[in-house]
A and B are shown apart, each in its own frame.
Chain A
Amino acid sequence: MPAYGDLVETFVELIRRASTQLPDDVVHALEQGKAKETETGLADKALGTILENVELASSTSAPICQDTGTPVVWIHHPVGVSTRALGAQFREAVHKATERRFLRPNAVDTLTGRNTGNGAGRGIPFLHFEEWDEPRVEVRMILKGGGSENVGTQYKLPEPRLKAGRDLEGVRRAVLDAVFEAQGKGCAPGVLGVCVGGDRVSAFEMSKRQLLRPIVDTNEIPELAELEERLLREGNQLGVGPMGFGGKTTLLAVKIGVLDRLPACYFVTVTYMCWADRKAVVSIDEGGEVTWLN
Chain B
Amino acid sequence: MAELKLPVSEEEIRKLKVGDFVELTGRMITGRDTAHHWLMQDVREDVMPFMKDTVIYHCGPVIAKNDDGSYDFVAAGPTTSIREEPYQADVIGRYGLRGVIGKGGMAGRTLAGLAEHGAVYLHAIGGAAQVLARAIPKVERVFMLDEFGVPEAMWVIEVEKFPVVVTMDSHGGSLHDEVEGASKKQLDELLK
Interface of A toward B, CB cutoff 8 Å: 42, 45-46, 49-50, 52-53, 56-57, 60, 62-68, 101, 104-106, 108, 113-115, 117, 145-147, 150, 162-163, 173, 176-177, 180, 183-185, 187, 234, 237-241, 243-246, 274-276
The 6 closest A-B pairs by CB, nearest first: A115-B149, A185-B104, A66-B75, A187-B126, A56-B130, A53-B128
Task: Tally chain B residues at the interface, Cβ within 8 Å.
Answer: 50
Asked whether, in the complex, the Cβ of A64 is within 8 Å of the Cβ of B184, the reply is no
Residue of B whose beta carbon sits closest to that of A55: B130
A-B pairs under 8 A by CB, number: 162
Is B41 part of the contact surface with A, judged by Cβ < 8 Å? Answer: no
Q: List 7 A-B contacts (CB under 8 A).
A: A49-B163, A65-B77, A66-B77, A147-B79, A183-B180, A239-B182, A276-B127
- What separation, in Å, do the CA atoms of A126 and B80 have in the docked complex? 23
Q: Besides A145-B127, A184-B103, A243-B125, 8 other CB < 8 A contacts?
A: A49-B128, A101-B74, A115-B148, A180-B184, A237-B190, A238-B187, A244-B105, A274-B127
Asked whether, in the complex, the Cβ of B129 is within 8 Å of the Cβ of A240, the reply is no
- What separation, in Å, do the CA atoms of A245 and B177 have in the docked complex? 10
With A66-B60, A114-B149 already in contact, the answer to whether A42 and B105 are too (CB < 8 A) is: no
Please, which residues of chain A bring their CB within 8 A of the CB of B180?
183
- What separation, in Å, do the CA atoms of A185 and B179 have in the docked complex? 12
Is B34 part of the contact surface with A, judged by Cβ < 8 Å? Answer: yes
Asked whether, in the complex, the Cβ of A64 is within 8 Å of the Cβ of B19, the reply is no
- What separation, in Å, do the CA atoms of A105 and B82 have in the docked complex? 22
- What separation, in Å, do the CA atoms of A173 and B190 have in the docked complex? 8
- What separation, in Å, do the CA atoms of A68 and B60 have in the docked complex? 11
- What separation, in Å, do the CA atoms of A50 and B103 have in the docked complex? 14
B48-62 contacts to A, CB under 8 A, are 59-62
Interface of B toward A, CB cutoff 8 Å: 19, 21, 34, 59-64, 74-77, 79-80, 82-83, 103-105, 123, 125-131, 133-134, 148-152, 163, 165, 167, 175-176, 178-180, 182-184, 186-187, 190-191
Identify B191's interface contact among A105, A145, A163, A244, CB under 8 A. A163
Please, which residues of chain A bring their CB within 8 A of the CB of B148?
113, 115
- What separation, in Å, do the CA atoms of A93 and B10 have in the docked complex? 49
Tell me what chain B mostly uses at the interface: helix, strand, loop, or mixed: mixed
Please, which residues of chain A bring their CB within 8 A of the CB of B130?
53, 56-57, 60, 62-64
Asked whether, in the complex, the Cβ of B126 is within 8 Å of the Cβ of A101, the reply is no
Nearest CB of B to A61, in Å: 10
Nearest CB of A to B139, in Å: 14
- What separation, in Å, do the CA atoms of A243 and B77 have in the docked complex? 13
With A114-B149, A147-B103, A243-B126 already in contact, the answer to whether A104 and B179 are too (CB < 8 A) is: no
Asked whether, in the complex, the Cβ of B175 is within 8 Å of the Cβ of A246, the reply is yes
Nearest CB of A to B180, in Å: 6
Asked whether, in the complex, the Cβ of B186 is within 8 Å of the Cβ of A246, the reply is no
Asked whether, in the complex, the Cβ of B127 is within 8 Å of the Cβ of A64, the reply is yes
Residue of B whose beta carbon sits closest to that of A145: B127
Asked whether, in the complex, the Cβ of A147 is within 8 Å of the Cβ of B80, the reply is yes
Nearest CB of A to B137, in Å: 16
Please, which residues of chain B bring their CB within 8 A of the CB of A238?
183, 186-187, 190
Residue of A whose beta carbon sits closest to that of B151: A104
Please, which residues of chain A bring their CB within 8 A of the CB of B125?
46, 49-50, 53, 243
- What separation, in Å, do the CA atoms of A175 and B105 have in the docked complex? 22
Asked whether, in the complex, the Cβ of A101 is within 8 Å of the Cβ of B179, the reply is no
Asked whether, in the complex, the Cβ of A244 is within 8 Å of the Cβ of B179, the reply is yes
Nearest CB of B to A254, in Å: 14
- What separation, in Å, do the CA atoms of A238 and B150 have in the docked complex? 37
Asked whether, in the complex, the Cβ of B191 is within 8 Å of the Cβ of A63, the reply is no
Identify A113's interface contact among B34, B61, B184, CB under 8 A. B34
- What separation, in Å, do the CA atoms of A106 and B75 have in the docked complex? 13
Asked whether, in the complex, the Cβ of A245 is within 8 Å of the Cβ of B165, the reply is yes
Identify A176's interface contact among B19, B103, B176, B191, CB under 8 A. B191
Asked whether, in the complex, the Cβ of A244 is within 8 Å of the Cβ of B104, the reply is yes
